[in-house]
Each structure stands twice: as C-alpha cells, then as structure tokens.
Amino acid sequence: MTAQIPVTVLTGYLGAGKTTLLNRVLSENHGKKFAVIVNEFGEIGIDSDLVVGADEEVFEMNNGCICCTVRGDLIRIIGGLLKRKGTFDAILVETTGLADPAPVAQTFFADEEVKKRTKLDSVLTVVDAKHVMQRLEDSPEAADQIAFADVLLLNKVDAVTADELAIVERKLRALNPFAKIHKTQRCEIGLDKILDQGSFDLQRIIEIKPEFLGDDHDHHHHGHDHDHGHDHHDHNEMKHYHDEDMDSVSLSSTKPLNPGKFDSWINDVLMSKGPTILRAKGILNLADADNRYVFQAVHMMSEGAFAGPWPVKDKRNSRMVFIGRDLDAEALKQGFTACQMA
Amino acid sequence: MSAGAPLVESKGLSWSLDAYVIGAAATPDSRYFVCSLGDGTVRVLDLTDAAKGFTAYQIHKGGSLCFAPDIEAGSHLSGGDDGKLVKVKLDGSTQIIADLGRKWIEYVTSHPDAGFRAYASGRDAYVLGKKKGDEPRKITLETSVGGLAINPKGKRIAIAHYNAVNLYWLAAKDGQPQVLPWKGSHLQTTWSPDGDYVVTAMQENALHGWRLSDGQHFRMQGYAAKIRAMSFPKRGHLLATGGADTVICWPFTGGGPMGKEPSEFGGMVNGPPVTAVLAHPKLDAIAAGFENGKVIVGQPGTTRVMPIVTPAKDKEPSAVSVLAWTPDGDRLLAGTEAGDVHVVDFRSLA
C-alpha cells in the first residue's frame, strides 16, 4: 500500500494565533515539507506553491445526514495535491475561526480516495487564554473547536494571571477531557509536540494521558460523570462562563464488559445520538479478551480494534468519554453500566 | 473470456514516466500522443518513431491538474496549480491562455470544430472563443465547479456543481442558465452523442442523468466505488462506466436507461474496480483500465475480452488514470497514477 499522508487540522478563533503557528510550520526547518490549505492567504508570510486557498465549501452526502457533511473543496484540493507525488510529506488544513471542525474531519473518512491516500492525524485548536471565556459565551463555534480537539494550544498565557489561567484550563478540561493541553506564548512550542500525533490511530489512543486514562484521576473535574442533567450547583466558579450545552461525559468500570451488549449499546447510542456527539473515545476491558479494546467515534462514524495488552495485568479499568451537546449523562451511564458482566 | 499474453508484450511499448498521468490525447492526424503529468510536464510521443520515447516539456512550476486538446489542431491545453492555463504546441513552445494567480485551474475542455475553450477554477468557469483579443466570459456559480462538458454540436456547455448542472449557450455573452437540479455533488460530466442526455458522476457512488427533450431525469446506482470514468461510444447506444469490478454499460436506446438493467463485461467479481473507460472511436469496442493497472479491450454484450496490459508483478500496482485512442482507432494509450504509460498498436490485428 502507498503510505498515507498525515493531515493536521488547525482550528481556533480569529486572533488566537493560528497564523503565527502556520508561518512557523512553513518557515522552520523541521525536516518535513507541508502542503498548507488555508482559508485565505492574508497574513501567510510565505509564498510557496504548496500553500493552497480553500473555499470552505461544506456539503452533504447521502441525503443530508450530519455525519455525512464534508468539505467538498478539500476533496478536490487533496485530489489535486495527491497528483504531485513526492513533493510534500504532510498536509495542514487551516479552518476559519467560525468553522465547525466536524465536516473537515469527516472528509477524511467519507471520501474513499481521500481516505485511501491520507490519514487524519489530529485536530489542533489554538485557544487565546485571554479571550476564550468571552468567545465561549458569544460563539458556539468556539466550544465546537475546543470540544473537537486532540491537541489544545493554550496560547497567550502571558496575558492572564495564574488564577485566570487555572479557570481557563479547568474549563477546557470540562469541555474536552482527552485533549493534550500545551501552554504557550506566541505559539512557541516544539512542532513535534503538535504534529504527527496519530490521534485518530486506534493503536495510539492508549497513549492519551493523563486525564482520560489516569487511574487516580479525580473525576469531579469532568462535569457530569458524577452528576446528571445540567445542574451546575457544584462548581460555582465556572457557572458564569458555562457553555450552555456543550459538555463531556466520562464513564469508567472495573468490571469487564459483555462484548455483545457493548456493541449493541454503542451502536444504538451513535445511531440515535450521533448528531449531538462530536467525539467519543474508549479503552475497554471486554470479557474474555486479553488485550485492550480501543474505540473512537466522530458523530456516527466509529471504529474499534484490539490494541495490545493491559500495562498492569490485574488493573483493567474500562474508560469511555463522550463529548457533545445536550448529552444525557445519566442515560449514558446506565447504558454503560448495563454492559458490565454480571 | 480473456486468454493469452497481454497485447502490450507483442504489439506495444511501455515507459515509466514517474509522475501521475493526468490527461492524454492524440492529435487529429493520429501521429502523436500527448500527455500531461503531475510533475507539471507535457510529454509528446511521435508514433512514427515511438521507440524514441516521449519528449518532456516543463510547463507548470507545480503540478498539472487538467488537460485537453486545444481548438488548434496539434496544440493542447494544460491547466496547473500555478494558476496558468497554457497552450502547448508539439515542439514544446507555449502560450499562456489564462493566469489566475494563486488559484488552481482544475478543469479544461474544448470543442475544436466550434472553436470554444472552457476552463474552471473554484466557483468560476470561463468560456473563451477563438477570435484574437477575445476576453473570456466569466461565469460564477453558487458552488465550486465539479466538471465541464461541451455538447457534441459545440453549442452548449454543461457545468456541474453542487446540487445542479447548469447549461449555458457558448456563443452568448450573458443570459441565465438552464438549471438541471439534483441534490448532491456532481463531478465528471458528459453528453450523449445525440446531445439529448447529460450524465454526471456524483460524489456518492452513483450517476445522475437528464433527458433534455422531455426533462426526465434518472439515477443509476449500485456501484462499489466512485465512478471516475464514463464514455459513450460514437453510436450512442450505451454508456460505459467505471466504478464497479466490471465495465457497467447502461442502454441508451429506445427511451434511455430508465427501468432497465445494465450489461457488463470484463473484470472479475470482487476484483479491483474499473478506473478508466474509453469507447473506440469507430468500432463497438471499449477500452477499460482497472485500479491494479490492468487494461483490457472488450465488446459490450459479449464475453470476449482482449488483455492489453496485465498488472505489474515487480512493483506496486497503480490505477489506470487515463486512456486515449488515436482518431483512426489504430492505437491505444494507457497511463497510470504512478506514471506507467503503455502504447499498443492494433493495426496488424485487423
């Protein structure tokens, strides 16, 4: 098989620092040549024939199901890039500040040619520490972009106090328990920490730490795993900033899961709630299996596979995270619990 | 049934050009094959001395994206990701027809007899006549262009985009299009030889067609893969398509394909999909290329298939991206995504 070209999707609200990061990726000597797909050339300082303008054309496949919403322009552009064999090693797709990242990500699963030749590496969201709380109040896209991310670059940390930063970080964690968070000024970070992450690679989901996997983790940061509905009396300090509907639900179980029950439950959840679930990831202990079963979903599209043995043989905790809008935490918890072996 | 050694071994020549073959065409006198490649070159093969191989001319700074014969016999049009549409003569001399800067030129087509060229970039399509000093007519669509096709008479152009195909009169300077709506993303577009049908391949694995004479439209589906190629033979009695593990041929006689079953030939069940098809310019034969590099020529309605190229055993298989016949029908060119090019001579078989 031809090697698949990794694709990083770069999102973030206007002014968060995406262009700064783009210019670094284009100018720094990191040994990789990137084709960069931008929504406008604007501030891009590099005039390269590998910088391509896109139209952000979102369209529906298969009768308009939200999960089949893709970026038509990306299919075309990537098709064109792939004809120029060997002139680049990776692709970076920048979205506008107002973009929903899901159609971008779904493009890499929905179009068979794109899927065959490229692989979505990760969704990287740049967040402006100073303004993100305001953005979360006034624009739903800001929550989408954070919730969808695999890597969050919490930028401009020098513009806020330590206390403010702690509040922002907690907020990001509540919206997205599995993303890696890096704190930066002017997007200064080793590019190896944000590129080539393999976030959609099932075999690498097990590397996600610590919030998602940490065994001694305090789940009370997570928002709804200990509670239900949308009652936020227990974290008053965040109430003011709360995004009204975006949330995450973390589930865990020390008992092995019945594979058949889990399969039918998760299919049912994704079929009925897929449109409101942005991302889901899980590392699961299925009964009678020696290895960890890893699972991920973007809206209704999901995949799962076994991925290596448990690190500590006797400690097999299943963990699962859902990120989405209007999640029914109690129903998810009950459904998950019902998958446990008696 | 297919049998025997592939024809390319006894009656053909093969080259490794090492870049994606984007497009190919023969000159009207059947003397030259001209290809454009993903490395931004245009390559010319003189069939009177084919053993000498292709001569390469670097046309674009980046890669080529589209290719078509020009309205001037012997010249070709190459569009690239450097924003340029370039007219290339057989000796490699060039003339820039359009320069759109940082925008890509993604589609090009022409009608030599009618003297029109058309090209597209993003949402903008351009129609250019043959008179010197003519400015192109710019047509901006609501969504990006997915395909261009001029009708056989050279009077109208079909521009496929999202949720519709728009038809424009080529000679008109302005005017509203006739819109053929159907939900979804329409890509490659073709006209039946009588000009009554417009058919598009869609983002989904399906075709959509319209009959202009009475406004009927129809959907043809059941494909396993994206339909990257379709071709009407000159008689227009069927439409041969890729996208399945055999060549699927829809009947276009007696009222069109509505409610009818397609016939099929070549390939094998659950084998690699057909990625290129091209009807012979004179005979009822159709050339087809597959995802694994195999090329055959077959006849719809029969099981007779002539093997032309078999998949390479010593390297990774690569999909057939392009087929071209010389107008006299004597020679066939097949090009792959990896840059393998085969030219086969049928003359001694006649």
CA closest to A2 among chain B residues: B316
CATH number at residue A108: 3.40.50.300
User: What pLDDT score was predicted for residue A66?
Assistant: 66
CA closest to B315 among chain A residues: A1
pLDDT(A225) > 50:
no
Q: What is the pLDDT of residues A83-93, one digit of tens each?
A: 986 788 999 99
Taking residues A274-299, what's their average pLDDT?
Answer: 90
Which among B65, B123, B185 is the nearest to A59, CB-wise?
Answer: B185
Mutate which of A83, A87, A88 to test chain B, going by most B C-beta atoms within 10 A? Answer: A83
Taking residues A136-155, what's their average pLDDT?
Answer: 91
Domain identity same for A223 and A196: no
Q: Cβ distance B277 to B287 under 8 Å?
A: yes
- Asked if the C-beta of A216 comes within 8 angstroms of chain B's C-beta atoms, the answer is no
Domain identity same for A187 and A237: no
Domain identity same for A195 and A232: no
Beta bridge partners of B166: B159, B179
**Below-50 pLDDT ranges, chain B:** 1-2
CA closest to A111 among chain B residues: B203
What order of strands is seen across the sheet that includes strand B12-16?
Answer: B12-16, B340-345, B331-336, B320-325
Q: What residues of A are in contact with residue B21 (Cβ under 8 Å)?
A: none
Instruction: Give B239-272 as a DSSP string.
Output: EEE-SSSSEEEEE-SSS-STT-PPEEESS-TTSP
- Looking at A168, A200, A232, the residue that finishes a domain is A200
Name every residue whose Cβ is closer than 8 Å to that of residue B93 and which is 6 or more positions away in sequence.
Answer: none
Handedness of CA B310, B314, B318, B323 (dihedral sign): negative
Residue A312's pLDDT band (cuts 50, 70, 90): confident
Q: How many domains does chain A have?
A: 2
Contact A55 B316 (CB under 8 A): no
Domain identity same for A108 and A170: yes
* Cα–Cα distance measured from residue A168 to residue A129, given in angstroms and rounded to the nearest whole number: 7
A211 within domain boundaries: no
Domain identity same for A290 and A174: no
| pTM of the complete model | 0.88
User: What pLDDT score was predicted for residue B333?
Assistant: 98
Domain identity same for A103 and A11: yes
Structure tokens at A199: 């976030």
Domain identity same for A195 and A224: no
pLDDT(A230) > 50:
no
Mutate which of B64, B104, B203 to test chain A, going by most A C-beta atoms within 10 A? Answer: B203
Mutate which of B142, B144, B221, B223 to test chain A, going by most A C-beta atoms within 10 A? Answer: B144
Q: What residues of A are in contact with residue B38 (Cβ under 8 Å)?
A: 83-85
A210 within domain boundaries: no
Neighbouring CB atoms inside 10 A of A203's CB total 12
User: What pLDDT score was predicted for residue A227?
Assistant: 31
User: What pLDDT score was predicted for residue A307?
Assistant: 86
Residue A65's pLDDT band (cuts 50, 70, 90): low
Domain identity same for A195 and A231: no
Higher-confidence position of A197 and A234: A197
**What does R_g of chain A's alpha carbons equal in angstroms?**
20
User: What pLDDT score was predicted for residue B141?
Assistant: 96
Name every residue whose Cβ is closer than 8 Å to that of residue B90 and which is 6 or more positions away in sequence.
Answer: B27, B32, B34, B44, B74, B75
Range of the domain at A129: 5-200
DSSP run (H or E) holding A167: helix A162-175
Taking residues A186-205, what's their average pLDDT?
Answer: 84
A174 within domain boundaries: yes
Structure tokens at B259: 């409610």
* Cα–Cα distance measured from residue B19 to residue A126, given in angstroms and rounded to the nearest whole number: 37
Q: What is the pLDDT of residues A94-133, one digit of tens each?
A: 998 888 888 999 899 888 889 989 999 999 999 999 999 9
Higher-confidence position of B74 and A313: B74
A195 within domain boundaries: yes
Contact B19 A85 (CB under 8 A): yes
Q: What is the number of alpha carbons within 13 Å of residue B79 lying toward its C-beta?
A: 26
CATH number at residue A251: 3.30.1220.10
Which residue numbers of B have CB closer than 8 Å to A's CBs? 18-20, 22, 38-39, 61-65, 81-82, 102-104, 106, 122-123, 143-144, 146, 162, 183-185, 203-204, 225-226, 316, 337, 339
CA closest to B275 among chain A residues: A113
- Looking at A151, A166, A200, the residue that finishes a domain is A200
Domain identity same for A125 and A258: no
**Cis omega before residue A210 (within 30°)?**
yes
Domain identity same for A183 and A59: yes
Work out the angle between the directed axes of helices A162-175 and A140-148 (0-180°, nearest 10). Answer: 80
| Main-chain phi, psi angles of A264, to 5 degrees | -75, -35
A19 within domain boundaries: yes
Domain identity same for A81 and A113: yes
**Which residue, among B228, B237, B326, has the nearest Cα to B277 in the 3D structure?**
B228
User: What pLDDT score was predicted for residue B27?
Assistant: 98
Give the 3-state secondary structure of residue A132: helix
A256 within domain boundaries: yes
Which among A49, A51, A83 is the nearest to B20, CB-wise?
Answer: A83
Q: Is B163 exposed, middle or buried (0-12, 13-18, 19+ CB in 10 A)?
A: middle
State the amino acid at position A134 in one-letter form.
Answer: Q
Residue A221's pLDDT band (cuts 50, 70, 90): very low
A208 within domain boundaries: no
The residue count of chain B comes to 350
* Cα–Cα distance measured from residue B273 to residue B73, given in angstroms and rounded to the nearest whole number: 34
Q: Is B259 exposed, middle or buried (0-12, 13-18, 19+ CB in 10 A)?
A: exposed
pLDDT(A244) > 70:
no
Structure tokens at B337: 């995504």
Residue A241's pLDDT band (cuts 50, 70, 90): very low
In this prediction the ipTM stands at 0.89
Mutate which of A85, A107, A113 to test chain B, going by most B C-beta atoms within 10 A? Answer: A85
- Asked if the C-beta of A144 comes within 8 angstroms of chain B's C-beta atoms, the answer is no
A250 within domain boundaries: yes
Higher-confidence position of A33 and A239: A33
Structure tokens at A275: 């449109």
- Looking at A134, A168, A200, the residue that finishes a domain is A200
Which residues in chain A belong to E strands, given as ranges? Answer: 5-12, 34-38, 51-53, 58-60, 69-71, 90-94, 118-128, 151-155, 180-183, 246-253, 277-284, 291-298, 301-309, 318-325
pLDDT(A224) > 90:
no
Domain identity same for A105 and A144: yes
Which among B82, B225, B337 is the nearest to A112, CB-wise?
Answer: B225
pLDDT(A2) > 70:
no
pLDDT(A47) > 80:
no
Size of interface A-B (CB pairs under 8 A): 77
Taking residues A141-147, what's their average pLDDT?
Answer: 91
- Asked if the C-beta of A259 comes within 8 angstroms of chain B's C-beta atoms, the answer is no
| Main-chain phi, psi angles of B296, to 5 degrees | -135, 165
CA closest to B63 among chain A residues: A84
